[in-house]
Homo-oligomer: A and B are copies of this chain.
Amino acid sequence: MKITVVAPGRPIDPVVAARAGAFAAIAYPEVDLIFHPQCFESAGHFAGSDALRAATFLSVANDPAVDAVWFARGGYGSNRILAEVMPNLGPAAARKAYAGYSDMGFLLGALYARRIGRPVHAPMATDINRNKGDETVARTLGWLVRGDRQGLEPDLGGRPAAAFNLAILDALIGTPWLPDLTDHVLIIEEVSEPLYRVDRMLFTVANATQLKGIAGVRLGVVNDIVENDPPWGETLEAMMARWCRDMGVPYLGRARVGHTQDNYVVPFGIA
């Protein structure tokens, strides 16, 4: 089985590739894990120009010899290649999985909107750098390589689901790149935001015309919260319950996804 790593957002250090590659070689010897050289390119904020990132993603997605695309890292930028990439995906692109999270939600969402391949919210190669990062990336590799359900978010319960970073979901809302999530459980997570911004993004989710008809909302990890001035004075649980009430859907509690070691796999749709 061949998995190729690409970086549609920001670049990674070759050390990350070496570390993730070494772990995969030992734990998943049946995998041919290839880090595309584009992962190490740099152009301003990004892992190479928009054109390079788009061309790389397309060549890998359209390669019949590649079974899955694993995203190296998030960090902003995958939205900038959607217009070039999405119309040019061929039959081979529809037969593979795409795994990542955070900024990669732009691509996962756009793929799912067109029901191309199997988008999966899952730890990325760069997560090998976390404490117990081998366990984190093993969830992705285990799912992609062996269909190992131990790395799945534990409460998916056979219902269709989709997971997004809240800021990325917010940026997709109102655009044709947002998938139809009717009857899906929507799982959101956030990092490095003050609570008034989380609240503002939830306003958009709760009022989004495109999200009418979702089955409910679950909240992943919200961490590295930027201090609110003045103090926000409301728990995340209360905030979620309030916006879900406005939205007219059930708040279904917490989920184990997020920018953390405790980030589990959520295949879009039914796992």
Q: Contact residues of A with B, CB < 8 Å?
A: 44-45, 76, 79-80, 83, 167, 170-178, 196, 199-201, 203-204, 207-210, 228, 230-234, 246
CA distance A1 to B207 in the complex (A): 36
Report whether A171 and B44 are in contact in the complex, using a CB–CB cutoff of 8 Å: no
Partner of A45, one of B170, B173, B196: B196
State A234–B49 Cα separation when bound (angstroms).
12
10 contacts between A and B (CB under 8 A): A44-B231, A44-B234, A45-B232, A76-B199, A79-B200, A170-B204, A171-B200, A171-B203, A172-B204, A174-B207
Q: Report if A44-B232 is in contact (Cβ < 8 Å); known contacts: A80-B203, A203-B79.
A: yes
**How many angstroms between the C-alpha atoms of A270 and B37 in the bound complex?**
53
Cβ-defined partner of A175 (8 Å) among B199, B208, B232, B233: B208
Residues of B within 8 A of A208 (CB): 174-175
A171 to chain B, nearest CB (A): 5
Measured between beta carbons, the chain B residues less than 8 angstroms from A233 are 44-45
Contact of A204 among B83, B175, B207, B232 (CB under 8 A): B175
Task: Given contact pairs A79-B200, A174-B209, enumerate 12 new A-B contacts (beta carbons under 8 Å).
Answer: A45-B233, A76-B196, A79-B203, A83-B246, A167-B200, A173-B175, A173-B204, A174-B178, A175-B204, A175-B207, A176-B207, A176-B209
Task: Give bound CA distance, A200 to B80, whole Å.
Answer: 9
The interface residues of chain B lying within 8 Å CB-to-CB of A171 are: 170, 200-201, 203-204
Closest chain-B Cβ to A83's Cβ sits at a distance in Å of 7
Q: Measured between alpha carbons, how far is A208 from B177 in the docked complex, in Å?
A: 10
In the bound complex, what is the Cα–Cα distance between A110 and B80 (angstroms)?
Answer: 30
- With A83-B246, A196-B76, A207-B176 as known contacts, state yes or no: A230 contacts B170, CB within 8 Å: no
In chain B, what residue has the closest Cβ to A176? B209
Return chain B residues, CB-CB under 8 Å to A45: 196, 228, 230, 232-233
* A171 and B176 alpha carbons, distance in the complex (Å): 16
Residues from chain B with Cβ under 8 Å of A173 in the complex = 173-175, 204
What is the CA–CA distance of A200 and B173 in the complex, to the nearest angstrom?
A: 12
A207: B residues at CB distance < 8 A: 174-177
